[in-house]
């Protein structure tokens, strides 16, 4: 399963990307997480359906204790490449 999403809310400057990576690593999900210029965070995630669904659930709750997710928007996932790990990108 491949999914791309944009997360908005209080998701920059609170350790959101690094906590998201920790969750992805724990679940065996591969992909990327990066800040957007508008204050959102963009995520691409691939893995087994149950892994990705658990990852999405964790992201919606905000893996960062001081983060607050207001909205998660899903995008077309056709262009997501096959990642071999999960990384924080810039």
Question: Would you say residue 90 lies in a domain?
Answer: no
Question: Would you say residue 46 lies in a domain?
Answer: yes
53 is catalytic: no
31 token code pair = 């992909």
Tally Cβ neighbours within 10 Å of residue 29: 26
Q: Mean per-residue pLDDT for 40-54?
A: 97
Q: Mean per-residue pLDDT for 44-59?
A: 97
Question: Would you say residue 8 lies in a domain?
Answer: yes
Number of domains the chain is built from: 1
Q: Which residue's entry shows tokens 């001081």?
A: 66
HSE-CB for 44 with a 13 A CA cutoff: 15
Question: Would you say residue 41 lies in a domain?
Answer: yes
Among the listed residues 17, 38, 50, 53, the single catalytic one is: 17
17 is catalytic: yes
| CATH number of the domain enclosing 38 | 3.30.70.100
Range of the domain at 18: 2-76
* pLDDT tens-place string over residues 16-34: 999 999 999 999 999 999 9
Among the listed residues 35, 50, 53, 85, the single catalytic one is: 35
Q: Identify the burial level of 15 via C-beta atoms within 10 angstroms of its C-beta, where 0-12 means exposed, 13-18 middle and 19 or more buried.
A: middle
Q: Identify the burial level of 57 via C-beta atoms within 10 angstroms of its C-beta, where 0-12 means exposed, 13-18 middle and 19 or more buried.
A: exposed
Question: Would you say residue 88 lies in a domain?
Answer: no
Question: Would you say residue 33 lies in a domain?
Answer: yes
């Amino acid at each position: 399963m491949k999914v791309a999403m944009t997360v908005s809310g209080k998701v920059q400057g609170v350790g959101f990307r690094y906590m998201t990576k920790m969750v992805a690593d724990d679940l065996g999900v591969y992909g990327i997480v990066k800040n957007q210029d508008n204050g959102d965070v963009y995520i691409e995630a691939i893995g087994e359906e149950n892994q990705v669904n658990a990852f999405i659930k964790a992201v919606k709750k905000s893996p960062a204790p001081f983060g607050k997710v207001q909205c998660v928007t899903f995008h077309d996932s056709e262009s997501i490449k096959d990642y071999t790990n999960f990384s924080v990108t810039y």
